[in-house]
Amino acid sequence: MPYQVPEPKIFACTQSMELGQKIAKSYGTDLGKVLFSRYSDGEFQPSFEESIRGTRIFIIGSTHPGPENLMEMLLMIDAAKRASARHITAVMPYFGWARQDRKDKPRVPIAAKLVAKMLETAGATRIITMDLHADQIQGFFEKPVDHLFASTLFLPYLKKLKLKNLTIASPDMGGSKRAYAYSKALSSDVVICYKQRAKANKISHMELIGEVTDRNVVLVDDMVDTAGTLTKAADLMMERGALSVRAITTHGLLSGNAYERIEKSKLQELIITDSIPTDAKSDKIKVLSCADLFADVMHRVHHNTSIASKFIM
């Protein structure tokens, strides 16, 4: 009797439980059972409460700081390896620590590479993630990486808005490649913001490269943390004569005074995905779910079919 490849099982880390349930539903299955035991000193232990021997499993969990989120993913991968799972795919909608992808000054770590090695050492056989802070982080892995783009979600949304005199903008020089890709897909102009930082999360100066007068501007970025850059860019563009300013950012970290800044700014709308759990404490924030995208890619990975159609740009 020929060997039948079992259907995959999907599990979720605690911080991504809601997204995990959406992905499992879209995939057409139930989320697997995991028990998390916690000690009084903060130590925790995940336990798979069903057999995963010989199966492909997907573990869903964004690893945004604090470090507990990453540790949870690592422990679940290790537990799956020791339970004889056939393939272990870490589904990380948001790959944390990615801003530390190089040595930008002496005596600092390259945390993104360290995290990659930790995931592989734990036992991950494949990584699925979305909009890495830097594309070259894929090169830190020796295992296959499926790097998805949130443009699959954002471009249809922007096209539905039917904005006239559309201009795509990057809030910094590093995001210019992403902005040009969106502008090509939408046949629009591009504006780049040039910023100088006094220190992390604090901008000392910002200037515009390009024209925004009488334009509907859409800022494009991979993440929004304290929202300082986005809100400063939006206010500057409105001062320079823009008709409206929106922003699309894949990962909504929204830490510190982010919500307050967004409310006080001239941003008309901030569109993010649910790669990271968010309370969306502002009427200006719209959340697009990435669950269907990940579910579809996971299905294609399991059945060894192409995912090329998911790369709009």
61 in Cβ contact with 92 (< 8 Å)? yes
Angle of helix 151-161 versus helix 176-186 axis, rounded to 10? 50
Angle of helix 17-27 versus helix 291-302 axis, rounded to 10? 60
Q: Could you give the 3-state DSSP secondary structure of residue 294?
A: helix
Residue 26: partners with Cβ closer than 8 Å, 6 or more residues away: 291, 292, 294, 295, 296
Question: Rounded to an integer, what distance in angstroms lies between the CA atom of residue 218 and that of residue 167?
Answer: 6
Residue 126: partners with Cβ closer than 8 Å, 6 or more residues away: 87, 88, 89, 90, 143, 144, 145, 146, 301
Catalytic-role residue among 162, 195, 232, 284: 195
DSSP per residue, 232-257: HHHHHHHHTT-SEEEEEEEEE---TT
What kind and span of H or E run contains 60? Answer: strand 56-60
* 25 in active site: no
For the chain, how many helices (H) and strands (E)? 8, 14
What spatial distance separates the first Cα and last Cα of the chain, rounded to whole Å? 44
Question: Rounded to an integer, what distance in angstroms lies between the CA atom of residue 247 and that of residue 249?
Answer: 6
Radius of gyration of the CA atoms of the chain, in A: 20
Q: Which residues are catalytic?
A: 195
